[in-house]
Every structure is written in structure tokens, then in C-alpha cells.
Amino acid sequence: MDLGATLCTRHRPGCTHCPLRQDCRAYLQGRPADFPAARPRKALPVRQARLLLISNHDGAILLERRPPAGIWGGLWSLPECPGAEDVAAWCARRYGCHALRITPGKALRHTFSHFHLDITPLHVRADHKTNTIMEPSEIVWYNTSAPDERGMAAPVRQLLAEWRAVVDIN
């Protein structure tokens, strides 16, 4: 009989039904809920990401489909600029757009089962020429005022909702 799975649980010990209660130190000390002790949680590593909310003259946000492997595989996401890169230069090289203004947003932490992801959102107001990006099917301009059912990770949806709230205020 597996007593740990059926009777001797930390949150609801069943001492009255346990055949070993007369020899149990936890029961005799009146502390059955203290055992078994919870294992200390393992510290999760922290990774950093800069996600760009690149907006065009219509207020649409640039989204791109992530590669099938890795975090958020195959989902639509905000572009992720490598930490060592200059954001304006990266946008020009990757998307052919000129960053008119770059504004940091409120940082966000997303926790996966095996690591924390600290996200730094950067709002990038791009010039009007960015509409030429529409050619590849893996990149789209997303209308935040008329969202569709596109598959996105929760933090991306949250950042888009925050962006929409800021646009509505202004």
C-alpha cells in the first residue's frame, strides 16, 4: 500500500485511517501536516528578450511567424531584436524601415516551466515605407483595433492590448 499517495499527504493527512499511526512520530507530536516537507524550489534561470512593437502610419503593428522549433514555435509574435544590436539599424537591415522614434515600454516577466523570460518591449514608430514589408507570408501588419484569431503567445497578446490602450488614450 502506498501510504504517501493515499493517506499520508501534507495537505490532508488521513491519520485516523492509517495502520502505522501508533509508531508515527509526526502523529505522536501532533504535527502530521508538517510532513512530508515541501522540497525547495529550484531557482529558474532568467533570459532576456527585446520585443519590438513596430507601428506604421496606420497604427498597425508588425508581426512575424516564429520558427517551428523553439519557444512559441509557429506562433505569431513581435519581432525579437538581439540584445547587442542597435534597434534602428536592425529594423533598417531586416525590414527596410526607418525608425522615427524608439520608446521603451513597461517590462514584463513571463515564466516557463524551466526559465523566466524578462521581456523589454520597445515601441518603434516607423516611416511610411514599411508597407512594402507585406510581401512575405511570414510577416504581416496586424490591426490592433480589429484583432483576428491569429495564434499568439500570451505575453504578445498582453503587449498588443497594452499598445491598443495607449493608442486609444492618445
pLDDT in tens, 51-84: 999 999 888 999 999 999 999 999 999 999 999 9
For the chain, residues classed under CATH 3.90.79.10 are 46-169
DSSP class of 152: B
Mean per-residue pLDDT of the chain: 87
Q: How far apart are CA 64 and CA 120, in angstroms?
A: 18
Q: What pLDDT is recorded for position 128?
A: 61
Q: Which pLDDT score, from 0 to 100, does residue 168 have?
A: 59
The b-or-e profile of 85-105 (16+ CB within 10 A means b, else e) is eebbebbeebbebebeebeeb
Q: Is the C-alpha dihedral spanning 148, 111, 61, 139 positive or negative?
A: negative
pLDDT band (50, 70, 90) for residue 31: confident
Residue 133 pLDDT more than 70?
no
Regarding predicted confidence, which is higher, 34 or 75?
75
Question: Are 57 and 137 a contacting pair, CB within 8 Å?
Answer: no
Mean pLDDT for the stretch of residues 152-170: 84
CATH architecture of 46-169: Alpha-Beta Complex (3.90)
**Against a cut of 0.85, is the pTM above it?**
no
Cell numbers representing residue 62 in the block: 508588425
Residue 167, classed as helix, strand or coil, is helix
